[in-house]
Chains A and B, each alone.
Chain A
Amino acid sequence: MKAAPVGRRALLKGGLAVGAGLTIGFQLPAMRARAPSAQSTPGVFAPNQWLSIDRDGLVTITNSVPEMGQGSLTTTTIIIADELDADWNRIRVSQAPADPKRYGNPVTGSQSYGGSRGVRDHMEMWRKSAAAAREMLRQAAAAEWGVPVDTVDTEPGVVVHRPTGRKLAYGQLVDRAQALAVPQNPKLKTPDQFRYIGKNLHRIDAPEKVTGRGIYGMDVQVPGMLVASVERPPVVSGAKVVSVDATAANAIPGVKHVVQVTNGVAVVADRFPTALAGRRALKVTWDLGPMAQVSSPRISSEYAALARQPGLAARKEGDVERALSAGGRTLEAAYEVPFLEHACMEPMNATAHVMPDACVIWAPTQNPGGTQATAARITGLPPEKVAVNTTLLGGGFGRRGEVDFIVDAVETAKAVGAPVKVMWSREDDIQHGFYRPATYNVLRAAVDGSGMPTAWSHRIVGPGILAQKGRMPANIAVDPAAVAGARDLPYDIPNLQVDWVNKDFGVPVGFWRSVGSSQNAFITESFIDELAHLAGKDPFEYRRALLGKSPRHRAVLELAAARAKWGSPLPAGRGRGIAVAFSYGSYAAHVIEASVVADGVVRVHRVVCAIDCGIAVNPDQVKAQMEGGAVYALTAALYGQITIDRGGVQQSNFHNYPMMRISETPAVETHILDSGAAPGGLGEPGVPSVAPALCNAIFAGTGKRIRALPIRTGAL
């Protein structure tokens, strides 16, 4: 059952629809719907930066988390509306401006959104903010009626005096409530009082997304705007422009400017195809720098050589080497994963207008705070003079936390003195990304007489994302992003070591949906499967026996196995695999059924997912994230590979960097485990356990162990 469909439609009629309210402001630069700020605005009750109510009872909720598909517009609204007891029919949502002091994530302090942090970092603060408002409305009504405050309650959009049944709408209480002090510790609802949380509410951005009305970064139009495209070097990093001959480019009708920017040479034109034509006509001489010596085979072989040396210890318990050399059975395997590009459906882009005393940016960004800071740095303006309008994002997945496309837009707009939209081609997007790190891994284990592990050693060789970006936490040697999903191995093994060899060839790396866990779970959950088979034990039972100290892992593992009917007979040729992983505050397990058909094509028949995200604010959207996470992960496992040739990316578009299609996609069955724990993430946790469950299924069906991704059908 879906709740509140009426609300959505009712909202649409007014033109102040939830969602529509988000996009109205994009027509003109100054019209961006600013979040209401002043508690002092007459007739507007705004006890904090997250919500306001006007005299008509219209509630405006400010969402700070960019909408990249994860449903933040809806989820934020649900959380605030529930605690406020708002009428779902009388809400609009605005997207927060860049203003980290007011809108920053309360845990990180920044306005950069990744790590599946939307609900888990904000929920408590949003609930308190809304509860404070609700408390003030109750006080206002009690004063109006001259009754004790504990005799008044709320229903959606109204305060009710229980003994008499009298009612006052929130809009009628605005002026009285505005004069009250904001309570610092308002009483929160108990879960049984939730009106919207835990129900399946429709996405409030669906109407604009099925009609083409939604405004993404690419769709921004500003009066007088030019469109630019940046010619980028043939290597992924470190190149410099030696010379530019723009004669032919400038001769193309519609080409307005050619300007050198940090990331290359921008051709500024009246329209995008003209800018692309201008790029093709440029003659740029590059100093390619040391990257020109880097190719994927060299990366792999140097990784493998380095794996023989010890790395920095990320976790060390017991004495692994002694256990490994104790004379019992041991197993060693090498696992390798490639660089991956995010391939957001909307190629990178941003629009900027740099004026003498102000800068305005429209961007599909996960990082409004970083966007503001970047523009301030480039323009020399104070951050508060940089307005950032966060549009809808055509995918994020971590890619849009970077600010390279912001740099393109601000530098180009500054150079030409007009608003400029910089658009990337798909080729730019795939060839100039921030890739999931390629790594090489050596795993070693010793097992006892019954096949249970006594020692586990995992050595990871590859770059660190935080290390490369110069963002390592103080006094920490091991990049947390490099070892996530490996260091936190949940299995109870007495001698355990995880170490990391930092080897960075200069290929830009970044946060790719579930980051370290996306690859380390593949590696660890495949290797534990190898140990189960070495022991001759059922892979589900083997894991289960080792999860005594990790009850939430075990619970999702058991739920996935039960719902998938683990152990039941399968059609001939089909294998079933299982895997479990923790990431970003949530626990997920997958059971996958797959077969390898003629020509080595892998067919995925069934995906069963169990997820424990603590509290499921919008269960249907929890499922949507698991469905999408599975497709993202399967795409990577089956096809995903970025290779480097003399410093450049060999893939360029969807013909050689393919994506899973509808015809290949199995149904994903999601089962939510309601643990009642604190909220966990959802955008990322649906990814890590998918690739190992698939590869374990392939092993179960064919006896072939996949130790390198993507799955090479020729090897099967």
Chain B
Amino acid sequence: MITLVVNGKPQRVDVNPDLPLLWVIREDLRLTGTKYGCGMALCGACTVHLDGTPIRSCVTPISAAAGKMVTTIEGLSPQGTHPVQRAWQELDVPQCGFCQSGQIMSAAALLAQKAAPTDDDINAAMAGNICRCGTYQRIRAAIHRAAALKKGGAR
């Protein structure tokens, strides 16, 4: 039995300790906002926060999350009003949207570290997240916008 806290809620799961965190999130906890895209930490669609740090849940064994805090897209903000989510909507970033949970989790982690990231900061933090629809330039603009929203006092 492994215990962890997901989106503020304590969870106990009885699974193989090698099982990737992604599948616990999706299949056991039924939080399907976190996506499977490659299974090899190559695309970033599965990005969640582990104790605040963005990680690829598809290659993170559940045992590594034992006793830790996991935040998924569903838990980023109660009403979907995190500055990153607001900026994403303002700029109409998503197209198919499948990668966007991962993009948003990476972007939120970046902004938690750097209040006003430069383009280079964004490149470094976001290069692990593939968007096949090619929304990158809007992602870049939306991160700058989210930084401004955050500075202006996020709700």
- Of the A-B pairs whose beta carbons lie under 8 Å apart in the complex, a sample of 11, sorted by A's number, is A206-B93, A207-B80, A210-B85, A211-B85, A212-B72, A273-B23, A344-B96, A425-B39, A627-B134, A653-B40, A667-B137
Contact B134 A631 (CB under 8 A): yes
From A215-223, A255-263, A592-600, give the one contacting chain B: A215-223
A345 touches B (CB below 8 Å)? yes
Chain B contacts for A627, CB-based, 8 A: 134-135, 137-138
**What distance in Å separates the Cβ of A650 from its nearest Cβ neighbour in chain B?**
16
**Distance of A665 Cα from B137 Cα, bound (Å):** 7
A471 touches B (CB below 8 Å)? no
**Distance of A273 Cα from B58 Cα, bound (Å):** 11
Contact A654 B74 (CB under 8 A): no
B118 touches A (CB below 8 Å)? no
Contact A210 B95 (CB under 8 A): no
Asked, given contacts A68-B96, A345-B43, whether A624 binds B138 with beta carbons under 8 Å apart, the answer is: yes
Q: Top 6 nearest A-B pairs by Cβ distance?
A: A212-B33, A631-B134, A394-B98, A69-B96, A209-B97, A69-B95
Query: When the two chains form the complex, which single residue of A215, A272, A345, A653 contacts B45, counting CB atoms closer than 8 Å?
Result: A345
B11 touches A (CB below 8 Å)? no
From A76-84, A299-307, A532-540, A656-664, give the one contacting chain B: A656-664
| CB closest residue in chain B, given A666 | B137
A122 touches B (CB below 8 Å)? no
B30 touches A (CB below 8 Å)? yes
Residues in A136-179 with C-beta less than 8 Å from chain B: none
| CB closest residue in chain A, given B20 | A273
Q: How many residues belonging to A are interface residues under a CB distance threshold of 8 Å?
A: 64
Chain B contacts for A343, CB-based, 8 A: 132
A205 touches B (CB below 8 Å)? yes
B117 touches A (CB below 8 Å)? no
**Distance of A518 Cα from B37 Cα, bound (Å):** 25
**Distance of A207 Cα from B45 Cα, bound (Å):** 18
A523 touches B (CB below 8 Å)? no
**Distance of A346 Cα from B26 Cα, bound (Å):** 14
**Distance of A669 Cα from B92 Cα, bound (Å):** 16
Asked, given contacts A211-B80, A653-B42, whether A69 binds B92 with beta carbons under 8 Å apart, the answer is: no
Residues in A624-678 with C-beta less than 8 Å from chain B: 624, 627-632, 635, 653-655, 659-663, 665-668
Query: When the two chains form the complex, which single residue of B96, B104, B122 contacts A392, counting CB atoms closer than 8 Å?
Result: B96
Contact B98 A212 (CB under 8 A): no
**What distance in Å separates the Cβ of B73 from its nearest Cβ neighbour in chain A?**
4
Contact B98 A628 (CB under 8 A): no
Contact code string A370-411 (vs B, CB < 8 Å = 1, else 0): 000000000000000000000011111100000000000000
**What distance in Å separates the Cβ of A362 from its nearest Cβ neighbour in chain B?**
13
B131 touches A (CB below 8 Å)? yes
Asked, given contacts A71-B95, A655-B40, whether A272 binds B23 with beta carbons under 8 Å apart, the answer is: yes
Asked, given contacts A210-B88, A624-B138, A654-B40, whether A344 binds B132 with beta carbons under 8 Å apart, the answer is: yes
**What distance in Å separates the Cβ of B65 from its nearest Cβ neighbour in chain A?**
15
| CB closest residue in chain A, given B139 | A662
**Distance of A416 Cα from B34 Cα, bound (Å):** 28
Chain A contacts for B60, CB-based, 8 A: none
| CB closest residue in chain B, given A70 | B95
Contact A665 B42 (CB under 8 A): no
Asked, given contacts A202-B89, A661-B130, A667-B137, whether A654 binds B38 with beta carbons under 8 Å apart, the answer is: yes
| CB closest residue in chain A, given B32 | A219
Chain A contacts for B134, CB-based, 8 A: 627-632, 635, 660, 665
**Distance of A323 Cα from B132 Cα, bound (Å):** 45
**Distance of A223 Cα from B19 Cα, bound (Å):** 23
Chain B contacts for A102, CB-based, 8 A: none
Main secondary structure, interface of A, reads: loop
| CB closest residue in chain A, given B97 | A209
Contact A345 B98 (CB under 8 A): yes
**Distance of A344 Cα from B134 Cα, bound (Å):** 12
A549 touches B (CB below 8 Å)? no
Contact B133 A395 (CB under 8 A): yes
**Distance of A272 Cα from B127 Cα, bound (Å):** 27
Contact A662 B92 (CB under 8 A): no
A621 touches B (CB below 8 Å)? yes
Contact A210 B40 (CB under 8 A): no
**What distance in Å separates the Cβ of A268 from its nearest Cβ neighbour in chain B?**
15
Contact surface of B with A, Cβ cutoff 8 Å = 19-20, 23, 26-27, 30-40, 42-43, 45, 72-74, 80, 85, 88-90, 92-101, 104, 122-124, 126-127, 129-140
Contact B30 A221 (CB under 8 A): yes
**Distance of A382 Cα from B128 Cα, bound (Å):** 47
Query: When the two chains form the complex, which single residue of B19, B92, B94, B99 contacts A620, counting CB atoms closer than 8 Å?
Result: B92
Contact B137 A668 (CB under 8 A): yes
Contact B94 A205 (CB under 8 A): yes
Residues in A181-215 with C-beta less than 8 Å from chain B: 202-203, 205-215
Chain B contacts for A628, CB-based, 8 A: 95, 133-135
**Distance of A450 Cα from B89 Cα, bound (Å):** 54
**What distance in Å separates the Cβ of A276 from its nearest Cβ neighbour in chain B?**
9
| CB closest residue in chain A, given B94 | A209
Chain A contacts for B130, CB-based, 8 A: 345, 654, 659, 661
**Distance of A273 Cα from B127 Cα, bound (Å):** 27
**Distance of A635 Cα from B131 Cα, bound (Å):** 11
**What distance in Å separates the Cβ of A573 from its nearest Cβ neighbour in chain B?**
21
Most buried by A among B43, B89, B92: B92
Contact A345 B99 (CB under 8 A): yes
Contact A205 B135 (CB under 8 A): no
Query: When the two chains form the complex, which single residue of B34, B42, B131 contacts A212, counting CB atoms closer than 8 Å?
Result: B34
Query: When the two chains form the complex, which single residue of B37, B96, B100, B136 contacts A210, counting CB atoms closer than 8 Å?
Result: B100
**Distance of A272 Cα from B27 Cα, bound (Å):** 8
**Distance of A71 Cα from B93 Cα, bound (Å):** 11
Chain A contacts for B45, CB-based, 8 A: 345
A516 touches B (CB below 8 Å)? no
**Distance of A203 Cα from B101 Cα, bound (Å):** 17
Contact A69 B97 (CB under 8 A): yes
Contact B92 A216 (CB under 8 A): no
A214-B97, A662-B139 known; 20 new pairs, CB 8 Å cut-off, are A71-B95, A206-B94, A208-B97, A209-B97, A211-B73, A212-B31, A215-B32, A219-B26, A344-B96, A345-B98, A346-B35, A347-B36, A393-B96, A653-B39, A659-B43, A659-B132, A662-B122, A663-B123, A665-B137, A668-B137
Chain A contacts for B95, CB-based, 8 A: 69-71, 624, 628
Chain B contacts for A344, CB-based, 8 A: 96, 98, 132
Contact A426 B20 (CB under 8 A): no
**What distance in Å separates the Cβ of B22 from its nearest Cβ neighbour in chain A?**
9
A712 touches B (CB below 8 Å)? no
